[in-house]
Every structure is written in C-alpha cells, then in structure tokens.
Amino acid sequence: MSTTTPARSAIRPGDVTITLLLLAVFVYGWVEASAWPYRAALVPRIVTAIGTGLCLLKIGQLVVSSVRGRDDIDAVEDVSQGEGPQIIDEDEGDEQSLEYIFAIAGPRAWVVALGWIAAFFVGLRLVGLFWVTPIVTVLYLRITGKTSLLAAVAYAAIAEGVLYLAFRELLHVPYPRGIF
C-alpha cells in the first residue's frame, strides 16, 4: 500500500476551520472565566489567553503561507519528512497510514462507515448492549463483510457468549442497558 498522501494546497480548509473553532473555544473560555473568583479563574484565563494568542498566530501562519505559497511552512514539513530517521512521537508513526486511508476514502465510504457506527450507538441506547451486539454484528458481516449467514450468526453467538461470560459473570462489569 502506497504511503504517499494527496498533494496539499497552501491553505487547507480543515486547518482554517479547526483553528477558528479552537479560537472560538478559547475566547469563550476566557469570557466564561471572567465571572469567576480570582483563584478559580487564574489558570483558565492563562490557558485561554495563550490559546487565543497561538490560534491567532496559526491563522497568521496560514495567511502568510497562502500568500507565499509552499515556501515556509511546507518547506519545514519537507525537511521533517525527507531526512533520515524521523523524530516523531510514537503516535504519529501509525497516523501516516491512517491519514492516507482517511484521505482517499470517498464520501460514500465515510457515510456508510459513520452510518454503521450511528446505527450501533442508537441501537445501544434503545435496546442495550446484549441486543444490539448480535443484531448489528450479523447485519454488518452480511451486508458489508459479505460473509455467509452461518458465519455471521456463529460469530455473533460467540461474541454474545464471550460478552455474557466475561463481562457479566466473571468481571461483573456493568453494561449499558437500553430504554426498552
């Protein structure tokens, strides 16, 4: 699987959106903290003030990069990517493949994936874990996994059995129950 990511434009809408969103969060945090006593407000105001400043700095960087093209910021990125062993945190090593998959997945794939996740959690709230697990498992394996009905049912049965034995009987872990 290729690990190259799609080419980036000088300004990425996602960066702008996230930065503006975070700026709004920090500004809101500052305003909210204004009404608190001194001790309660001290750290929040420090954090939100610095956060606001850095968001403005980031916006400035994005504006500069859109004016200059791929000179400053992306040149630094190129350096980071191109020279020998990379000093990256252990999280970013996985993220290169994740980023690639997220970038190339089409809108339909996203809608389908998010739809299944939504269906699971809505079902969870309605009928609880022990009902939604086998239902969603069978449906997902049949529709998306294109597995046989027998395999899907067997998998669901084993999963349900493991859930019941491990979490209810052995570990006594409370599990989510549904409204109905």
Contacts to another protein from residues 18-47, by CB under 8 A:
18-19, 22, 25-26, 29, 32-33, 36-37, 39-40, 43-44, 47
Residue 10 is a binding residue for another protein (CB under 8 A): no
**Binds another protein (CB under 8 A): choice among 11, 24, 64, 75:** 75
Residue 161 is a binding residue for another protein (CB under 8 A): no
Greatest pairwise CA separation for the chain in angstroms: 65
**Which is closer to another protein, CB of 67 or CB of 104?**
104
Burial of 178 (0-12, 13-18, 19+ CB in 10 A): middle
Residue 165 is a binding residue for another protein (CB under 8 A): no
Residue 164 is a binding residue for another protein (CB under 8 A): no
- Cβ atoms within 10 Å, residue 42: 12
Residue 113 is a binding residue for another protein (CB under 8 A): yes
The DSSP symbol for 36 reads S
Structure token pair of residue 108? 């339909």
Q: Which residue has the tokens 């996994």?
A: 145
